[in-house]
Amino acid sequence: MDLGLRDRVALLPAASAGIGRAAAAEFAAAGARLAICGRDRGRLEAAAAELRAMGAMDVLAVVADCMVAAEVEALVRETQARYGRIDILVANSQGPLARPFEQLSDEDWRVALDTKVVTQIRQARLVFPGMRERGWGRIIFLAGTHGLQPHAYAITAGAVNAALLSVAKGLAEAGAGHGVLVNAINPGPIDTERMRYLAERKSTAEGISLEAARRALCSEVTLGRFGEAAEVAAAIAFLASQRASFITGTLLNVDGGQTKFI
C-alpha cells in the first residue's frame, strides 16, 4: 500500500532506538527524507546507516538531547536548512521516572512534566508555524495508555500522558483549517528499554521477581504479550500518510487490547 510518503520530510527526535527508530524505519522504507537525533553518537550513526540502506531518500543525523531546548532548536534549523521544510513530526521524548507516590517530590513532578510534556510541546511549537504556512503537515505525539488507564506504579506517566493527549486535541483544532493534522499514539506495554525500566521499578517497589513484574505489566493485554516497536511504528506511518487525511484529534491506542473502556 502506497502511503504517499515519498519525498516527505519527517523529523523524528530520539530516533536512535526504540519506537523512534522503528518509526524512522517505516518512513525510510516509504522513501521519505529523514532528520533524526539521539544523544549517543554511535547508536545514532548506526541507525542512520540502517535507514539509508532501507531506502530513505536522505538522512540527516544530529547528536542532540531532546531535553535541551537549544539543541532541539538547532536540530530544527539544520533540518530546515537541509530540506527547506518539515512535513511530519513524530514528537518523542523519554518517559518520566517511576516511583511510589509518597516518594515523589515537587521537583520530581516538575522533571516529569519537563521530560515528557514540555519536551514534546517544544518540538511541535517549532514546526507548527511552517506547516500552517504551507498548508500541509502531520504532528504525531507519542503518549501512552497510562494517560487513559492510570496505575500506581507509573503515576507520573499517567499524569504527563494525559496532559499530552489534551495538547494533541487542542492543537488538532488549531491546525484543522490549515491542513495540519495532529494525533497521538498511546503505546501499551511495548518491549523497549522503557518497559524494561518499568519492570525493574515495579519489581523493586513490590518486592517481586523481575519476571513476575514483566508478567504483571502485560497481564491486562488481551493478546497476552508485549508489543513490538515495529507494531507502533506502523500506526505512526499510517497517521502520517495521505491515507489518514480525515483523521485528526484522534488518540490511537496500540496496546494489544490493554485498555478496556468504551
Q: Parse the chain into domains and list their residue ranges.
A: 9-188+227-253
23 closest CA partner among 161, 15, 210: 15
pLDDT of residue 152: 85
Round the average pLDDT of the chain to a whole number and report it.
Answer: 95
Query: Domain 9-188+227-253 belongs to what topology?
Result: Rossmann fold (3.40.50)
Query: Which residue do the cell numbers 516509504 mark?
Result: 30
- How far apart CA 242 and CA 230 sit, in angstroms, is 20
Residue 153: pLDDT over 80? no
Say if residues 96 and 112 touch (Cβ distance below 8 Å).
yes
Q: Which pTM value belongs to this model?
A: 0.94
93 closest CA partner among 221, 185, 196, 213: 185
Q: Residue 84: pLDDT band by 50, 70, 90 thresholds?
A: very high
For residue 181, give the amino acid letter. L
Say if residues 142 and 115 touch (Cβ distance below 8 Å).
no
Question: What percent of the chain clears pLDDT 70, i.e. is strictly above it?
Answer: 100
181 closest CA partner among 92, 125, 248, 251: 248
Average pLDDT rounded to a whole number, residues 13-38: 97
pLDDT of residue 202: 83
Kindly report the number of other CB atoms within 10 A of residue 41's CB atom: 11
User: pLDDT of 95-110, one tens digit each?
Assistant: 888 888 999 999 999 9
Of 47-61, 143-157, 223-237, where does mean pLDDT reach its minimum?
Answer: 143-157
Residue 193: pLDDT over 90? no
